[in-house]
Chains A and B, each alone.
Chain A
């Protein structure tokens, strides 16, 4: 028990150190980008303005409001104080909307798209990979090339192929949006059905690529396990195949679980391509626009959330590993 406590405390310490460093980087890195974010706002405000003094006055008003004219250290402390109060401030690119408001309206869509897609892709991929390793023969010969093909396709390639086939040519599914172009969100079957049909293409464009990658990884791991001594021994013992596959699956899955945790931890960033190609609402394209538009508060807030989620996922996995696999704990607690 003492060994496990040491292991836990070491992991917790590293978690906190990484969090502090990440927090500083989240603030600093976006602000090191060349360019002036206030200039973009002034560009919007200056539409139709034809005198010289007006534009200047507006520029100064906004640098003051956003505090970009203050020393960066002072900006950091203001940022830190606000973040601890849960206030990420105004989004520069969508001013006067607050960062919290921008996140609130789009984060749900991203999680609803990414989380099931990652889980489904991961589950099907691992299941197929293990099956291919065990069955071998024709099944493996078809699955392997198909998986390599799917996983090496860039995300936008898969999205465009699905769009052209199922939406543009066959017209089975809608081309874009999160729900029908002629609907207003409401609690009705029609609307829900519309959400589900619009969900399919972005969802499968992510799932198919995930399946390929996972299947390849799982197959390699499972083949290794199938040749291990405990499998051979089980066979000699006359244990049924189904049970042996289950043993193999469980052992081969450990590294795959790390991948799953990290994918879930970083999922908020992940769906940019699907979101853009299918004009699907969500956070991915908002972050992209924020980065390009130097929206420091929005970039810092989203990267901070993603950092915390990834760190937490990693931390939880390591803690669980410590319980699941005593070898890891033993090796690291020394």
Chain B
């Protein structure tokens, strides 16, 4: 009897707690009556860089007919707090942890669905002037109207704004908004301001619809870095002047408060905005007044009404949800992704049906500490790099979701066609090792006189055994698998390499401190490199090889092994101003030659810009290789750069 009472008490308690939790949930707006989905459309546009390019093609897409609008909404009686599956596109792998804010001036929002001002800017809520397409390395106008133009001296860029573009409050997007956005970045030293102030002198409104971006000039009157000035147009958002002024007033013009403001009232120009966010999920809802449905841009609204991202706590939970059909677009590493369709028979696919399944974009790289005894010798560095068994790394660490070095020979370029075309493959072919070359590595060391004289099995340099520690952060499983293979390679060629995995919080502090020699235990260490973007491959090469980062106490840029080569520095500095394609190709080839000869670091695998795996249980017509879209829609989860065009092509499996 007593136990029964206890049981009732417990059940009552559970219910009470559930109710409390439910009641605690923030209120959400009631969705409007459901509208019929606009028919899918193949969006086409012309690259912005071609001067003679026609404006984006006018879409013949008709607005939903009156008949359709008048039709009673199917889900009129549906639960307003449930997201209709046929109108919601689910994601994973983007948002880890709760959203902190919606402030486009700050990088501290942890708001992966809407804010990322980067090489492939995220444009669901806030928009850039141009959209970068990593597949053809072109930019296409978004808020801008047609291509941008450099003046004759390449010191000023001018572009106009689409007359149809308007903010979520209905007011037009103007050049003054863009100019004021820049002025605010500078005034409050936002990350965007700090990142660009060395290259952009000013952004001004020529008139309401025309923007001029003025480059910072060197003493000769040339733009310091035209490449970064161009990149600004596709990587940074338009933010409304009127809202910015409201924000400034709210925070009393205080820079720290401005960046810390959660900006729940922000005005935006993009097709989606906040519908709901808590510790468990983020939901965006389509703005049906989005300007982009104008014929001068997309000609229709994006297909899904809601974009939702459940916040998973690890990859395993995300993969389970993908398998269950609760996730449509997966931006996370799903181990052995091919088994999902080959073995489980699920309607899941990747951008490319066969290995490497994804388009590689960044180059996870092992850096040598060039101050470690012996690692200052090219022969030792190159021998280690030659002996590494890369196919094992790619098979184990990436479960074949990376191209091999047979398929894409190593250079400084990622596997995209645009970058591969930038250097002379023939000229450096004899320098491109594919790995597992124990014989070659041993011969190289013997030739350099670095041999085992005391017979203990380890080679010596200047009387000391060659003994190193290879390291990467603990728990970064793909990097750890790579480091283990590097250590195993050392043993094959008489170089002792042990592995060590400190926590990321410690690792990052040590590795990014470039104003002092790296401490013991960091002889060979992993870091990332840039992916695909409008400044690439120049940006990536700069961060792998430029000596300008040596001496920084907080170096989040690159060259963490502190390599210095004046020849490489000179080429890296000259590339941004160079416009002749042949000269550029020659410069890039020279850089690849230097890199593969001196081996200051070496790439272990290729990694996609975003993982892009889709489940076609509910939605279909996702981008895939050779899908016929023109320009091709890149596999960036339908939210980054030109990839957003994919949202207009989606179709329901069961309409």
What count of chain A residues pass the 8 Å CB interface test? 81
The reply to whether A56 and B553 contact each other, CB–CB distance below 8 Å, is yes
Give complex CA distance A191, B80 in Å.
11
Within 8 A of B (CB), among A183-199: 183-188, 190-192, 195-196, 199
- Decide: A112 and B313 in contact? CB cutoff 8 A: no
8 Å CB contact of B311 from A42, A188, A191, A279: A279
Which of A52, A180, A187 contacts B548 (CB under 8 A)? A52
Q: Is A326 an interface residue (CB 8 A)?
A: no
Interface size class of B (residues with CB under 8 A): 35 or more
For residues 275 through 299 of chain A, which have their beta carbon under 8 Å from a beta carbon of chain B? 275-281, 285, 289, 292-294
Kindly identify, within residues 226 to 273 of chain B, every residue whose CB is under 8 Å from any CB belonging to chain A. 228, 235, 256, 259-262
Assembly CA distance A289 to B199 (angstroms): 37
Q: A61-B256, A96-B106, A276-B317 are in contact. List 20 more A-B contacts (CB 8 A).
A: A44-B107, A45-B107, A49-B194, A52-B549, A52-B555, A54-B194, A59-B553, A96-B260, A177-B281, A181-B308, A181-B326, A182-B85, A183-B81, A184-B275, A184-B283, A187-B22, A195-B18, A195-B21, A196-B15, A293-B505
Could you write out 26 A-B pairs with CB less than 8 Å apart? Answer: A35-B506, A41-B108, A43-B508, A44-B107, A45-B108, A49-B194, A50-B535, A51-B195, A54-B197, A96-B101, A96-B108, A102-B98, A108-B17, A112-B17, A181-B281, A181-B326, A184-B25, A184-B83, A188-B79, A190-B82, A199-B14, A199-B18, A276-B317, A279-B311, A281-B278, A292-B503
Name the one of A47, A111, A178, A277 contacting B317, with C-beta atoms under 8 angstroms.
A277
Among A58, A187, A191, A294, point to the contact of B505 (Cβ < 8 A): A294
Please, which residues of chain B bring their CB within 8 A of the CB of A199?
Answer: 14, 18
The verdict on B465 contacting chain A, using a C-beta distance below 8 Å, is no
Per the bound structure, the CA–CA distance linking A285 and B313 in Å amounts to 8
Q: Would you give the 0/1 interface string for A98-128, flagging 1 where the beta carbon is closer than 8 Å to chain B? A: 0000100110110110011001100100010
Residue A137, interface by CB 8 Å: no
Partner of A42, one of B98, B117, B317, B556: B556
B36, chain A: closest CB distance, angstroms: 20
Name which residue of chain A comes closest to B507, CB basis: A35
A19-60 contacts to B (CB < 8 Å): 33-37, 39-59
Residues from chain A with a CB closer than 8 A to the CB of B262 are: 96
Q: B150-186 interface mask toward A, CB cutoff 8 Å, 1 = contact, 0 = none?
A: 0000000000000000000000000000000000000
Q: Nearest CB to that of B514 among chain A residues? A: A52
**Separation in Å of the B276 CB from the closest CB of chain A?**
5
- C-alpha spacing A94/B554, complex, angstroms: 21
User: Which residues between 155 and 171 of chain A lie within 8 Å of chain B, taking CB atoms?
Assistant: 163, 167-168
* CB of A305 closer than 8 Å to a CB of B: no
Question: Is there contact, CB below 8 Å, between A48 and B13?
Answer: no
How far apart are the CA atoms of A150 and B90 in the complex, in Å? 37
From residue 83 to 136 of chain B, which have CB atoms closer than 8 A to chain A? 83, 85, 88, 90, 97-98, 100-101, 106-108, 110, 116-119
- Whether B508 lies near A35 (C-beta < 8 A) is yes
Q: Is B304 an interface residue (CB 8 A)?
A: no
Contact in complex: B321, A48 (CB < 8 Å)? no
Across-interface contacts of A112 in B (CB, < 8 A): 14, 17-18, 20-21
The answer to whether B326 and A36 have CB atoms under 8 Å apart is no
B198 adjacent to A53 (CB under 8 Å): yes
**Total A-B residue pairs with C-beta atoms closer than 8 Å?**
236
Interface majority SS on A: helix, strand, loop or mixed? helix
Please determine whether B17 and A48 come into contact, CB atoms closer than 8 angstroms: no
A248 to B121, CA, bound (A): 69
Q: Which of B197, B313, B512 has the most C-beta atoms of chain A within 10 angstroms of its own C-beta?
A: B313
CB neighbors of A among B534-555 (8 A): 535, 539, 542, 548-549, 552-555
Distance from B134 Cβ to chain A, minimum over Cβ atoms (Å)? 15
Given A116-B13, A176-B312, verify A281-B279 contact (CB < 8 Å): yes
Whether B110 pairs with A94 at a CB distance below 8 angstroms is: yes
Residues of B within 8 A of A (CB): 3, 6, 10, 13-15, 17-26, 28, 79, 81-83, 85, 88, 90, 97-98, 100-101, 106-108, 110, 116-119, 189, 191, 194-199, 228, 235, 256, 259-262, 275-276, 278-281, 283, 308, 310-314, 316-317, 320-321, 324, 326, 503-506, 508-509, 512, 535, 539, 542, 548-549, 552-557
**CB < 8 Å: which of A48, A52, A175, A292 contacts B504?**
A292
Closest to A185 in B: B25
Shortest Cβ distance from residue B89 to the other chain A in the assembled complex, whole angstroms: 12
Q: Are B97 and A289 in contact (CB under 8 A)?
A: yes
- Chain B hits for A269, CB < 8 A: none
Q: How far is the CA of A185 from the CA of B503 in the complex (A)?
A: 36
Chain B CB within 10 A, most for which of A54, A97, A102: A54
Chain A contacts for B549, CB-based, 8 A:
52
Identify which of A49, A108, A180 contacts B21 (C-beta below 8 A). A108
Across the interface, which residues of B come within 8 angstroms of A44, CB to CB?
107-108
Give the Cβ gap from B68 to chain A, nearest Cβ, in Å.
25
Q: Are A175 and B320 neighbours in the complex by a CB distance under 8 Å? A: yes
A41-B108, A192-B19, A279-B312 are contacts. A49–B552 as well, Cβ < 8 Å? Answer: no
A65 within 8 A of B: yes
**Least distance between A267 CB and chain B CB atoms (Å):** 13
Which residue of chain B has its CB nearest to the CB of A182?
B83
> Known contacts A94-B100, A96-B100: does B556 contact A49 (CB below 8 Å)?
yes
Q: A88 at interface (Cβ–Cβ under 8 A)?
A: no
CA of A42 to CA of B549 in the docked complex: distance in angstroms? 16
Q: How far does the alpha carbon of A123 sit from the alpha carbon of B23 in the complex, in Å?
A: 29
The answer to whether B320 and A276 touch across the interface, beta carbons within 8 angstroms, is no
A157: min CB distance to chain B, Å: 14
Contacts A184-B83, A279-B311 given; indicate if A42 touches B278 (C-beta within 8 A).
Answer: no
Q: Tell me if A95 counts as interface (CB < 8 A to partner B).
A: yes
Q: Any chain B CB within 8 A of the CB of A179? A: yes
